[in-house]
Amino acid sequence: MTVLGYARVSTTDQNLDIQLAALRAAGAEVIRSEKQSGTSREGRTELKTVLDFLRKGDTLLVTRIDRLARSIGDLQDIVRAVKAKGASLKATEQPIDTSTAAGKAFLDMLGVFAEFETNLRKERQLEGIAKAKAAGVYKGRPVSIDDAKVSEVRRLKDNGLGASEIAKTIGIGRASVYRALKT
């Protein structure tokens, strides 16, 4: 029976030290950490590693459930994966212990509130962008390639180059190549 710790922050300028110290103090024997957004499980290789490593009787330890997921769907998927391994989930700062009925209920409630908070933040952000656009302050992301580069992209495509080669040759991203070819 191993206690596996998992710590996550969203951006590279945030610090993991407080989470790591709390996990160590709570008995985590192995700790994996990463700096990735919690809005999706994609790209979160350390979370995948921890979930793959869990065995029957192990405990996945986090400081708070929002370190695992920002949506109730992702949280439920993670909890199901933990349960399928015969392991349990505990949080150091919240009364969560999936080995008890009360802990499971509290986990579900917190998951709903975490998703609600994410949705509210997204709505406020969209409202702010709409207000800035109406005031003429926000004009969106600047165009990364001009008409001359669009012509160059098409010429290189006609010469048989692929998107990656075109992007490297011109010094732009592959997504910009695809956008230029659409116009």
Residues designated as active site? 10
Beta strands in the chain (DSSP E): 3-9, 30-35, 59-62, 88-91
Report which secondary-structure segment, H or E, holds 179.
helix 174-182
- Cα torsion angle, 64, 70, 72, 74, sign: negative
Which amino acid makes up residue 53? Answer: F
The CA distance from 3 to 53, in Å, is 11
Give me the residues paired with residue 62 across strands: 91
Sheet containing 3-9, strands listed edge to edge, beginning at the edge strand earlier in sequence: 30-35, 3-9, 59-62, 88-91
The CA distance from 120 to 180, in Å, is 34
